[in-house]
Structure 1
Amino acid sequence: MTSARRTSTLLGLAAASALALAGCAGTPAAGEDDSRISVVASTNVYGQIVEEIGGDLVDVTAIITNDTQDPHSFEASARDQLTVAEADLIVENGGGYDGFVDALIEANGSEAPVVTAVEFSHEWPENAGHDAEAEGEADAEHDEHGDHGHVEGFNEHVWYDPHTVVHVAEAVAAELGELSPDDAAAFTANAEAFAAEIEGLEGSLADIAAAHAGAQVFLTEPVPFYLIAAAELENVTPDAFSEAVEEGQDVPPATLLESLALLEDGDVRVVITNTQTAGVETAQIVGEADGRGIPSIAFSETLPEGQTYISWMQANIEALSGALSA
């Protein structure tokens, strides 16, 4: 987001939130339980993870809940501003993916603790390692609501990395335990149970690696990159192709020709698209793959209705395994 646009957004949010606060003050939502911890998550992916950890002890609100909303360009509303202002805990992706959360925090001056998922990725440039967190250094990092803009060369779609998600769940449990010490043991136990389910996902990815390590895949957008890496598959997509699609720009003609040549070579085993983005070049790649008998599958950025994080990731892994075995 440009500086001018960010400033405009913050001013607009401040004005809108003042009206919202005036109209809603003193009027609790129907059925609201004040004894529960109020958690706001940027997307329903993180919202569901929080539900797994907090159970009946938390009220979770996810700002983005469907696949028609692009977090990269999402414009927050006055209602979103109020929701964040009243949160006891905020969970975001970070890395420029959901920058609207940081804008909301800055606009309302929230002092609620923030769990920022990218900070738990081993690939995060500023990550000093999980050992530093054990020494208490992470608390300071998570309480600072910087701009968290896009970091060049870093893939921010870390919810597709099971290892990172385990550490996010642990951080959520720790923050919830600080907010409700009497329930800390329950939060920790839930996080441990969740981590055990993540181990199942990692086992499924290891099975793919055992059977297909080194197989070439083409990602029209870099969303599932971490899942592909965990399965020890090789992403051969030209950076210029996936970057253009992610930014909603035209793929350079030379890059498109290079990409089509990769499919013609016959080494690409599967094409993976993003259900939330589409374009002429993506359709052309899928059409070329179909014509050559190369399976194509689609992954999404938000949690499909009726799914948990675990069931969703397992379905994605099974789809990938099936495509590679076709």
Structure 2
Amino acid sequence: MQQKHTWWTVIVPLVLIIAVTGFIINRGLAQQQQGTTQKSIHIVASLDFYGEMAQGVAGKYASVSSVIQNTKVDPHDYEPTSDVAKEYAAADIIISNGGGYDKWSSQFAQQNSGAKAITVAQLTGYKTGGNEHLWYKPSTARKVVLAVERQLIKIDPQHKRQYTTNAQRYLAKFKGLRRLERRARQQLAGKRYLATEPVYDNMLTALGAQNDAHAFAEAVDAENDPTATEIRQWQTDVQNHTVAFVINNPQNSGRLVKSAVAYARQHGVPVVNITETKPAGETYIQWQTKELRAVLKALQQ
């Protein structure tokens, strides 16, 4: 006997098939779209403190690689490896100091035409022959953070609100350092100092202090020996205590530098060590705060 099929015995299975098929298609499209929008953004920074700033803005939406992140490395002598070149070639955003400080980074950025290039020298108005240690300018961090925010929004406008929020949260952490800088400005105004290299000059001059050994410091920075006249002037300033302290970059351990620092210590002039690169385990703010406090402590000796 032949079974009779009512209309619902045919329609209901058909509806279920259509619904399941639609669900599978929609889910596949959603996953495909999600895979596209969540493509990882990669940022490469020549120096680790710029990388830290970038990560502060990007949060979970980008990965950040920093090339130089060791105080034992002299950035002036650094030579990038093939792995570093590959990092730059795959980067979406590249942060270079510029000003001739990290030429290799600037060159890699030029070769990757598809990446957004951020050059700190351009952000800070650097002019040829100026002091290239730009991270010691009090205004640099804010300019870098806002530049990273702009570039991330261009690449990934979907997360604009998160990038802006992250940037403001990161900058808010500088309140304590800014207060310390204001106090330091009062104490450093008119003070004279010596330096083995001009590493910290951007900070100290912004706070009103004056380097009495520009020629000595510039010679060392250029990997040349100071002249006999420059050495005698250094010794005279130390002997007469016309300077409040000496800034020493421990990453440069040349014989004449060691001798100049020892001479200062022998004559009771405080020596403050200032590194070009951020010590391991410290944030940029912690590093900057520690060094400025060390300078203020030297003033009391």
TM-score calculated relative to the size of structure 2: 0.83
Unaligned stretches of 5+ residues in structure 1: 1-33, 126-150
Correspondence for 1:59: 63
CA distance in 2, matches of 1:189, 1:48: 16
**Match for residue 161 of structure 1 among 128, 131, 137:** 137
For these two proteins, the number of residue pairs brought into alignment is 264
Q: CA deviation at 1:231?
A: 2.2
Match of 2:123 in 1: 120
SS at match of 2:193: strand
Q: How far does residue 73 in structure 1 lie from its aligned partner after superposition?
A: 3.1
1:186 paired residue number: 162
Q: What is the Cα-based RMSD across aligned positions, in Å?
A: 1.6
* Mean CA deviation greater in 97-106 or 266-275: 97-106
Deviation at 1:230, TM superposition (A): 2.6
- After alignment, is 35-44 or 87-96 more displaced? 35-44
The one-letter amino acid paired with 2:280 is E
Correspondence list, 1:1-326, <5 A: 35-106=39-110, 108-122=111-125, 124-125=126-127, 151-152=128-129, 154-237=130-213, 239-326=214-301
Per the TM alignment, residue 74 of structure 1 is displaced from its structure 2 partner at its CA by 2.1
Counterpart of 1:170, as a letter, is L
- What's the % identity of the aligned pairs? 30
Contact 2:197 2:220 in 1 (8 A): yes
C-alpha separation in 2, matches of 1:109 and 1:194: 28
Q: Choose 197-206 or 76-85, whichever is displaced more.
A: 197-206
| Cα distance in 2 between the residues matched to 1:322 and 1:183 | 44
**SS in structure 1 at match of 2:276:** coil
Secondary structure of the 1:111 match is coil
CA distances 1:65-84 after superposition (whole Å, capped 9, x unpaired)? 21233333322221111100
Q: Which 4+ runs in 1 deviate beyond 3 A?
A: none
Rg (Cα) greater in structure: 2
Q: What is the SS of the residue equivalent to 2:95? A: strand
Match of 1:145 in 2: none
Q: Give the conservation status (yes or no) of the 8 Å contact 1:72–1:99.
A: no
Deviation at 1:292, TM superposition (A): 1.7
SS at match of 1:224: helix
* Structure 1 residues 292 and 243: CA distance shift in structure 2, 3 A: same
Q: Secondary structure at the match of 1:162?
A: coil
Residue type of the alignment partner of 2:227: P
Deviation at 1:188, TM superposition (A): 1.5
> Deviations along 1:36-88, whole A, 9 cap, x unmatched?
31000001121111111112222111111212333333222211111001001
Contact 1:220–1:245 (Cα < 8 Å) also in 2: yes
CA contact (8 A) 1:117 1:165 kept: no
State the AA in 2 paired with 1:249. Answer: N
Name 1:5's counterpart in structure 2: none
In the superposition, relative to structure 1, how do residues 212 and 101 fare at CA in structure 2: closer, same or farther (>3 Å)?
A: closer
The alignment partner of 1:223 has SS state of helix
AA partner of residue 310 (structure 1):
I
**Aligned equivalents of 1:294, 1:165: Cα separation in 2:** 31
Provide TM-score, normalisation by structure 1: 0.77
Instruction: Name the CA distance, whole Å, in 2 between partners of 1:211 and 1:156.
Output: 25
